[in-house]
Amino acid sequence: MDEVTVDVLIIGAGPVGLYGAYYAGFRGMSVAVIDSLPEVGGQLAALYPEKNIYDVAGFPAVRGQDLVDALLEQAQQSKPTFLLEQRATTVDIHDDGVTVTTEPSTPGEPGVTVHARAVLIAGGMGTFEPKELPAGGDFAGRGLRYFVPRLADLTGHDVVVVGGGDSAVDWALALEPLANSVALVHRRDAFRAHEKSVAQLQESSVELVTPYEVTEVHGGDAVERVTLEHVETKETVSRDVKTVVAAIGFLTDLGPMAEWGMDLKRRRILVDRTQRTNLPRVFAAGDIAMYEGKVALISVGFGEAATAINHIAPLVNTKWKTTPGHSSDAL
């Protein structure tokens, strides 16, 4: 088993983890980053690389993959050690540091033991997998999709998007100019997406089919047709379709970290105003962290990562202050 020794271990290579890696280097710390995925960027890169992000300071809008690329370039200034396709499994906290062991995502590959002075957990929602469309059968990969990493792949398709949250609405709007037709099927009349997105949806050419559910998916080698059922009247209609995009949510899992002894609430890690968990030398930031008044935005996560790293600094070097000073003063 390989061993790595650094000042800070960051668990999660999504946007918040990447920014944390950069900021740790800015404060003079060596850093390693663990992630179970084969590429950096977390859920944003894996599921929404072509989605525009609107809440990052300095960008009126920024494509998800472009944001990840910029964050990686920024993080590389700190020369982090990336330990990809590794899942954090055990933690051992001692007086002057923390030891975390991992297991590989690919069986047969070696795990890693990481010795650090502190840990920042920035694992987003933890590991994730899409909720399956009950009527989807075995059509996954044959016209049934759970995410759309390349919008252009659906150019000219007749598409049914299933769901009522941000992902469903965003994909329906993004596919509108590319697909032959887009219908958004939701079991309720109201949508849970951002108000501005819903307003755009109502002004678009996307057909809103509510309150309906997809009860059957038909086809041979690929999807050809779906049956939709009205939630209240049980009336059914049939619709020819080439692609079904099921955006009905994800199942998330903290995995072995759930057994580390951290205080949890609704699968989130409770932290204080410094982003500390109840475990010594273990901090959390981003979607995985929870405190009173939490606002789950990427921009907030960046601030949480900086807060955590600044409070980790004195644990790494007792001569370092929590307050970093002005970045413009750094040489």
**What DSSP character marks residue 27?**
T
Same-domain status, 118 and 13: yes
Bind-site residues for FAD: 35, 43, 48, 88, 128, 287, 328
Domain count, the chain: 2
Structural domain boundaries, residue 297: 2-128+250-329
Which of 193, 214, 246 terminates a domain? The answer is 246
**What are the 10-residue block averages of pLDDT along the chain, 331 residues in total?**
92 97 97 93 84 89 94 97 94 96 86 97 79 91 89 95 92 95 96 91 96 96 96 95 92 86 93 97 96 94 97 96 76 53
Cα 273 versus chain centre, distance: 23
Residues 223 and 305 in one domain: no
Which of 246, 262, 289 is the C-terminal boundary of a domain?
Answer: 246
Please indicate, yes or no, whether residues 104 and 138 belong to a single structural domain of this protein. no
Q: What is the pLDDT of residues 108-157, one digit of tens each?
A: 788 999 999 999 999 877 666 788 999 998 899 999 998 888 899 999 99
235 and 182 together in one domain: yes
Q: Which of 221, 246, 271 is the last residue of a domain?
A: 246
What pLDDT shows up at residue 329?
67
pLDDT of residue 159: 97
Residues 274 and 232 in one domain: no
Residues in the annotated binding site? 35, 43, 48, 88, 128, 287, 328
Q: Are residues 9 and 41 in the same domain?
A: yes
Tell me the backbone φ, ψ of residue 295, rounded to 5 degrees.
-120, 115
Closest CA to 283 of 291, 294, 292, 272: 272
Q: 52, 41, 66, 62: which is closest to 174 by C-alpha?
A: 52
Would you tell me how many other CB atoms lie within 10 Å of the CB of residue 60? Answer: 7
Instruction: For 215, list phi and psi in degrees, rounded to 5.
Output: -105, -20
| Cβ count within 10 A of residue 35 | 27
CATH code for the domain in which residue 236 is found: 3.50.50.60
Question: Which pTM value belongs to this model?
Answer: 0.83
